[in-house]
Amino acid sequence: ERLCQQLLRDFPTLIDGHDRLGMLRAAQGRFTEAADHYSRVLEIIAKDPSGYDPELIRLFEERKQHALSNSAPRP
């Protein structure tokens, strides 16, 4: 987690820190936070989508949706 935070500080315009924190939060069961990080990844990509493969963008959208579906309260 500390290294992810350092990535965010040192390289705020790159997706790596948010991607790794998203995966970490999902593994911890902290799905709302994971979804937030994937949203930030998608925001960074939206500023210059030409540098990203459409499959990679789709992967982050799927990760975000998965996190959101797991963060919803269960009946």
> Using CA atoms, how far apart are residues 7 and 14, in angstroms rounded to an integer?
9
Q: What angle do CA 58, 33, 49 make, to 5 degrees?
A: 30
* Count of helices and strands (H, E) across the chain: 4, 0
User: Could you report the per-residue pLDDT of 12-68, keeping only the tens digit for each?
Assistant: 989 999 999 999 999 999 999 999 999 999 999 999 998 899 999 999 999 999 999
| Reported pTM | 0.90
Q: Check if the beta carbon of residue 38 is closer than 8 Å to that of residue 64.
A: yes
φ, ψ for residue 6, nearest 5 deg: -65, -40
